[in-house]
Chain A
Amino acid sequence: MSVTLKPQSKKLGGSSVWTTVIFALLILIPCFVAFSNKLREFILLYSGQVDGVFAISPIVNYLLASLGFFFLFWWGICNGMFARMEEPKRDFLVQEWQLDQAQADYESKPDGDKNHDDISVYEQSARMN
């Protein structure tokens, strides 16, 4: 099986960059403002009224979840997860085709040619580790 990627420019097009930026701003800014406002209201309510305790459970759940994802986000930045942003989409696709190609080649071999003792590269590295 021979497959090639359809031609596409390697760099992000201007429209892609602008779409990404516009959507990011459109989502992040109003939500950050709104959330900050609601958090302030919550603190005022909870510190002023006993009934405010109703709000504790869901808010704590939400804050813990968001905090976890904030740390994950930060970990992603520190580990280069957002560098070369568009590369993974090509790498994964090429890798998929290579996997299919390798498996098809293997399965098309007559059984006598398949050396079952000949372990794959993955198995070699797994055993070495």
Chain B
Amino acid sequence: MQTQPTTTADLPRHSDLVEERLVRWYLIAACVYLTIAMLGGFLMGFQMIRYNPLAGIEIFSPGRWRMIHTNGVAYGFIATAFLGVLHWVVPRITLHPVLDHRLSYFIFFAWQVVILGTVVGIMLGEAQGLEWGETPVWIDPLAQVGLGLVAINFMAPIRHVKGPMYVTLWYFTAAFIWTFLTYAMGNFIPQYFVTGTSAGAIGGMFIHDLVGLFVTPLGWGAMYYFVPILLKKPIWSHGLSLVGFWGLAFFYPLTGIHHFLYTPIPMFLQYGAVLSTIAVEMVVTTVIVNFFATIRGSTGALRENIPIRWFYTGMVFYFLTCLQCAFQTTLTFQALIHFSDWVVGHAHMVMYGVFSQWLIGMMLYLFPRLWRTDWYSRRLLEWQYWLSAVGIAIMSADLIILGVFQGYMWASLAPWSDVIQFSIPWWALRIVSGVMIFASHMIFMTHMLLTWMKAVAERKQEAASNPSTVAQTV
């Protein structure tokens, strides 16, 4: 990697590189959006057990809340939090700030408009007919321009890097390009240019590329940044990490069609999707091997270091979810679990069990640095972790097992109503696990507030004792 400065004295100051206020804003906004998204999931969960607390109110109808739940998690929480993390990571690795901090602030406010516009649009029935792409059509151009500006803003420091580039920057560079293209492909091509089966195939690619080419490279890129820092040792093999990156680049884009097996899409394309999905699982294995080889000899960190614990829990879920993916995309398996709750369990394991857990781990590392104080309570951190980890494990297992039962019941031509009756207790258990996850998040929000108040109190105390050393950090 470049590292032009060779001594501490030559380095730019962190405060010149990172706009900390913006990082704080992004991370706090993301947590607020996650609260709303989880409430949306709750309402939908209650609907599944035949209790709708908002019955009769059109704008709060379950179908709309479901879309707010999914879009809120994807764009409100995950994308917003990643934007905050990028403002920390990219300038520090490249030793150059983003192109323009004013542009960063503009993007922040524009992104809030996109998210709030999406929520309002969905509630008013303006959703676009594309799974995971329900952002109203009048929001799409703004979001597309915003993604272009994000790419320009962050590619400016990356372009200064000379020589071998650290794997995090490979992943981030790809994510900036992929996200822009994926969003355009999914939101504009089926809407304006192609119809029928072609549009279905594009939609399938969009759904999966959103996970694999937007969230995955940002997530793994961030893991390759945070894990070595927290373990205080380099990643086991940088070469292997690059195999993982280029494997993702070449094999992932075709996987999405596995969402449409047994459709009129030509079979060779469906087979291609199955094969590339299995190839991606092998790529994933290289990444997992790399991270577990890195922590070998430092496993005590899993007990002591809370962010590391969140990261590695997410990695275990990531391996499980990709392994699951490799099986469920085979035609035999797909015939059993398609349309069942298996898929819902799989999606929750990916979006919450993996990426949300990683992002929460990153926040647990960043907030104390941003506020220049330790977390208020270790006990609250432990409660937050265990409620979340056990909650998502129960939810995933519950829905995945239920999906198998549903598949066999449909295959045996059981009446639809019988399948629903059978499913209701399982859906009730999902509510219980959802309560655990939501409680974990509420603990996190409360803990953030307590820690921030602690930081303010400490600054006041410092100011009283020595007025000349107080940094403006809270």
Chain A interface residues toward B at CB < 8 A: 3, 5-6, 8, 12, 16-17, 19-20, 23-24, 26-27, 30-31, 34-35, 38, 41-42, 45, 51-59, 61-62, 65-66, 68-69, 72-73, 76, 80-96, 98-103, 105-112, 120-123
Contacts and interface: CB of A to CB of B under 8 A. Distances in A.
A91 B243 CA distance: 20
A123 to B, nearest CB: 6
A66 B167 CA distance: 19
Contacts of A23: 240, 243, 282, 285-286, 289
A86 B237 CA distance: 7
A103 B13 contact: yes
B232 A38 contact: no
Interface string B264-290: 111011011001100100110110010
11 contacts: A58-B254, A58-B257, A69-B246, A84-B164, A90-B234, A92-B225, A98-B8, A100-B14, A101-B8, A111-B468, A120-B16
A3 B232 contact: yes
Contacts of B271: 38
A76 B236 CA distance: 22
A9 B388 CA distance: 38
Contacts of A92: 1, 3, 93, 166, 168, 225, 228
Contact of A55 (B233, B266, B286): B266
A105 B13 CA distance: 10
Q: How large is the interface on B (under 10, 10 to 19, 20 to 34, 35 or more residues)?
A: 35 or more
A59 B197 CA distance: 13
Contacts of A12: 237, 239
Contacts of A98: 7-8, 11
Given A27-B283, A66-B253, A102 B232 contact: no
A73 B123 CA distance: 44
Interface stretch (B31-39, B63-71, B198-206, B353-361): B198-206
B421 interface: no
A58 B164 contact: no
B268 A85 contact: no
Interface in B15-42: 15-17
Nearest to B286: A23
Contact of B205 (A8, A56, A58, A86): A58
B283 to A, nearest CB: 6
Interface in B140-168: 163-168
Interface string B208-249: 000000000000000001001100111111111011001101
A81 B164 contact: yes
A17 B238 CA distance: 11
Contacts, number: 219
Contacts of A95: 1, 3, 11, 92-93, 95
Given A86-B239, A95-B3, A102 B233 contact: no
Contacts of B268: 38, 41-42, 45, 55
A71 B204 CA distance: 26
B125 interface: no
A35 B338 CA distance: 26
Contact of A122 (B17, B201, B264, B372): B17
Contacts of A109: 469
Given A55-B201, A83-B163, 12 more contacts: A12-B237, A16-B237, A27-B247, A27-B282, A45-B268, A62-B253, A82-B164, A85-B242, A88-B1, A88-B166, A92-B1, A93-B229
B185 interface: yes
A104 B18 CA distance: 14
B181 to A, nearest CB: 7
Contacts of A88: 1, 164-167, 238
Contacts of B229: 93, 96
A59 B202 CA distance: 10
A108 B458 CA distance: 15
Nearest to B260: A58
Contacts of B272: 34-35, 38
In this complex, the member of B198, B266, B469 whose beta carbon has the largest number of chain A beta carbons within 10 angstroms is B266
Give me the 6 closest cross-chain CB pairs, A-B, nearest first.
Answer: A122-B12, A89-B234, A103-B14, A111-B468, A88-B1, A88-B166
B96 interface: yes
A69 B266 CA distance: 26
Contacts of A42: 266, 268-269
A25 B407 CA distance: 37
B237 A8 contact: no
B262 interface: no
A45 B266 contact: yes
Given A66-B250, A96-B229, A31 B279 contact: yes
B235 A58 contact: no
Given A16-B236, A16-B240, A54-B201, A87 B1 contact: yes
Interface string B431-474: 00000000000000000000000000000000000111111000
